[in-house]
Structure 1
């Protein structure tokens, strides 16, 4: 693989603008090379020109020496042009070096500040461990943590152990001035296998001597002489309201609620949070190390290429300049990586090196050939089953008979539910494919655990697998219900749709590690958080899923039919019988409102936490949509000219507002003063026409949503067909919306170099220092 391709592949997508412009520098080198080649080709012509010049001189036809068209001046002009290109090359090279130096220094300063914050968090955790051990009254380590020191029952022994343990638990507490020494790291790594008190105490002294260059050395020594449990007097629990119960308690919060209660559950929760924080911090350091290595490699290859083309000594001089630069000489990232590894292994993995490194290192997603094979098989089976269903309907001429049309109206909505889900999955697979093509970091945006995100092939595999199940049951229904010899099996075939729902639910909630368990549980967790809005803090997967639910109104209403058919005993009757039940009619309206109601409360929660008026305006949009859906639901049940007018007016208002919100806020387009008129400054799709086409298509598909209001006195079968087509178009529109929404989110992350998620810290210090409860993104 060429270095340029590997360089692009290894880039952190959110930092792409902070990398060396390798292609730009290579372009300038090509200009230098073309100039050199053209100069060599002109050499034979110059010898001929010299002979002609000698002939002109002898014949008295030579030019004046001051004539700018003379040969000597021409040669100087050409030479000057070549040097100008090289000067431009080094000017650009300086700009790129300064850019990466500035960015790398900014990131290193940020991680150094963060390491100091993690030191204090770790001190608090260790003090809490000691306090919990004391309250337990035994020397066993709580929650699986091995005892680091021999336990003594006397108070003096406990105090000595506590002091030694506290002094050995701050391997990250060093400043940037002391990180260059390797002695500190060796001392910390040796601590992992030390269990006796005297050895640990001697290592503490060595650590203190090796950290004399620390700016906070005096402060640390003073702190180490005190009782480490005094830290707990300055610490409170950082409550982030991550559960419904915590949110409800937060409304009636008392200052005493954040006090430490020194229980095992509290310790376990704090350990879990800090473990996640250390893993995320380690990932950030890995990215910084990779950033340094790739940029230095790019600069080195550029200099070598320049030296190969020009054979000038400036190349070696510039390599020395790169080596002395901040990114070339700074080793803080490597030192911090080793310290975090040692700390994590000792305190969060029971000194098990293999287990600790497995938790720290990111898991690489590997493509499997079996996925591609079964994806093709299920796709072929789905197409074959779909053709078989169409042929069966045509052979029985169901569309031409009133009884057949009634049967289709009765049975089709039960299976269209799965059709909507399959279409949603296929559009999501297409989104994943184009996100990867455009280098959009969708796993980070959605918060997928490293190595668990599904590829587009795997999503297609799940979608086509569900299509095979649904089409097989539908075809079975058609053969058994419409066959002359199988009339006595109608009771059994009526349970096919319900059995299909049961199979899907069993697979979805299966606790075993099969069928992409982590993805299934991630979906269940996000769905549960959506249903509990506004009791949970809203994350992007939560409102992203809720937005998709608003495009699945017909699928959700199909669940209402399941309740009618199997709960109210109408599965053998026509669908019109369901409208005779007040429960069904109420659910018909309420179920359609639920997704918009959830989005409304999510907007309220975000407005309450983020204090941004945009979320309040968006909540008003969903209130108007709820009103429009209720009016349309009543119109479908009661009819009447007044209701149709109200439906058209309310739906038109919602379409205008929602379309504006899609294009301007969610997609970030229609910027009049941007570099790309009426788009935005940064675009990931190389063709601008795609964005204009997407905006036009979004408007058309939004307007088609109003088509459901206008029935045009259609037959029930045709009305069902129109409803199905419009619902499918809405799902396709939502899939298109998803691509540009995540693209806009990715560009926002790129603009702020935000490549890591914010993780809440377990403890909050109240010692007079202003500390954030959660880490800020880069």
Structure 2
């Protein structure tokens, strides 16, 4: 752990010490096992050892195999899809508008979700390699918690199924099948994903799926639930997935209005009511996060909770100013308001990212403008990370405050949304590093790791 080579004389002294030669620890362990076996396991030693010496979850080589398999399938299918789309003229000509209304929201939603899973897998790998106790911080069970291989498997599986459905959609459309059933394929894909999320059978990581549903419930119903670290952490992820929520609203509107049959997509794109609803959905993640901060302030009246809430309120004010300016583009006063509110929100968010969430920019630190305790040995990585976060923050601010209908603008917004997901995954590592080192969120009363004893089942 310390990467230090001990000298031979030191090792000799250690081996001859009383701590090494004494059997007192072994006798104490045997005594504890005997007491536990007698009073808690009905003199069943096998049952007692099951809980006193829990087996760690072993990594399966099949998971690694399927990650590689689905990665290859995704690359192959995406290549086929790109060639078919080019030959059929999907992205240019008269078919582009209908295709962007039917397929683009579904594909973008799953692509952003899969990218977020991929970044989470990278975070899990880095947290494990740097000995950050993320399971303890998130209060998750090591037996059921996702590993980085599991996250990569979910990511590659999603994208293989989605791109496979896109290829089938193109082939059926080119073969002369009725356009209505063909355009229903994206909707069926969404239905399949929702069914898998709520599936009651113990397949495809049921404990993780159900915990995700409980966390989303806690976020949506905030401030009526006590805020745990994993709740606010997930709510922060949602603030980076505003385009995904917009796509969900568009898909739901198309399904309810039966636009896949009528092909009158202007119902959801031009009607003022649905435009307003799209903007309201964009406010939800910031509202949920602000309510979590308010709940924490109610439980523990400290100014830092109100300051954190102010960050999300500033984002909502900036978005509201932008919305008002879109309605009154000839009004220069509102244009100035947009510049002021957007600038204040960006600076506010950057300050909170660096100083509060990452614990950096400490003028009195032994590490120049960083913090005293760092996990990464290369300090230049922290400076580059701050610069990258600032650049991506500015790009993301523009995408959260506008909605474009043109196809090229949609693709550009998808690219910027993908960069925001990457920024969020990048932010996640430093946020948890700071929590691991300093307990900055005050979510843990003590830093000791709880004992890994499971509950004894009644049937043995």
TM-score by length of 2: 0.87
- Answering whether residue 56 of structure 2 is matched by residue 368 of structure 1, we say no
Q: Offset of 1:505 from its aligned partner?
A: 1.3
- Answering whether residue 266 of structure 2 is matched by residue 556 of structure 1, we say no
Q: Is the 8 A contact 1:414 1:561 kept in 2?
A: no
Q: Is the 8 A contact 2:105 2:251 kept in 1?
A: no
SS at match of 2:259: coil
CA distance in 2, matches of 1:341, 1:638: 76
CA distance in 2, matches of 1:527, 1:587: 20
Q: Which residue of 2 aligns with 1:519?
A: 208
CA distance in 1, matches of 2:112, 2:391: 20
Higher Cα Rg, which structure:
1
Gaps of 5+ in 2: 452-460
Within 5 Å, give how 1:292-311 maps onto structure 2. 301-303=11-13
Q: Offset of 1:525 from its aligned partner?
A: 1.5
Q: Is the 8 A contact 1:429 1:456 kept in 2?
A: yes
2:449 to 756, 765, 772: 756
Q: Which residue of 2 aligns with 1:585?
A: 275
2:413 to 711, 719, 723: 723
2:41 to 338, 345, 351: 345
Q: Offset of 1:480 from its aligned partner?
A: 2.9
Q: How many residues align?
A: 447
Task: Compare relative contact order (CA 8 Å, sep 6+) and give the higher one, 1 or 2.
Answer: 2
| Structure-2 change in CA distance of 1:510 and 1:357 (3 Å) | farther
- Answering whether residue 399 of structure 2 is matched by residue 689 of structure 1, we say no
| Structure-2 change in CA distance of 1:679 and 1:660 (3 Å) | same
SS at match of 2:363: coil
SS at match of 2:428: helix
Q: Is the 8 A contact 1:644 1:709 kept in 2?
A: no
Q: Offset of 1:613 from its aligned partner?
A: 1.9
- Answering whether residue 167 of structure 2 is matched by residue 478 of structure 1, we say no
CA distance in 2, matches of 1:302, 1:752: 40
Q: Which residue of 1 aligns with 2:294?
A: 604
CA distance in 1, matches of 2:235, 2:150: 23
Within 5 Å, give how 1:350-749 maps onto structure 2. 354-355=46-47, 357-359=49-51, 361-405=53-97, 407-481=99-173, 483=174, 485-486=175-176, 488-571=177-260, 572-573=262-263, 575-633=265-323, 635=325, 641-642=331-332, 643-708=334-399, 716-748=406-438
TM-score by length of 1: 0.53
Q: Is the 8 A contact 1:557 1:588 kept in 2?
A: yes
| Structure-2 change in CA distance of 1:743 and 1:511 (3 Å) | same
Within 5 Å, give how 1:223-262 maps onto structure 2. none
| C-alpha distance after superposition, 1:258-317 (max 9, x if no partner) | xxxxxxxxxxxxxxxxxxxxxxxxxxxxxxxxxxxxxxxxxxx45267xxxxxxxxxx5x
CA distance in 2, matches of 1:329, 1:757: 20
Gaps of 5+ in 1: 1-7, 9-20, 33-88, 90-300, 306-315, 759-778
Q: Which residue of 2 aligns with 1:81?
A: none
CA distance in 2, matches of 1:505, 1:476: 20
| Structure-2 change in CA distance of 1:714 and 1:449 (3 Å) | closer
Q: Is the 8 A contact 2:238 2:285 kept in 1?
A: yes
Q: Offset of 1:718 from its aligned partner?
A: 1.4
Q: Which residue of 2 aligns with 1:262?
A: none
| Structure-2 change in CA distance of 1:749 and 1:564 (3 Å) | closer
CA distance in 2, matches of 1:610, 1:334: 44
| C-alpha distance after superposition, 1:437-494 (max 9, x if no partner) | 111111111111131122211111111101111111222223333x2x41x5211022
| Structure-2 change in CA distance of 1:518 and 1:619 (3 Å) | same
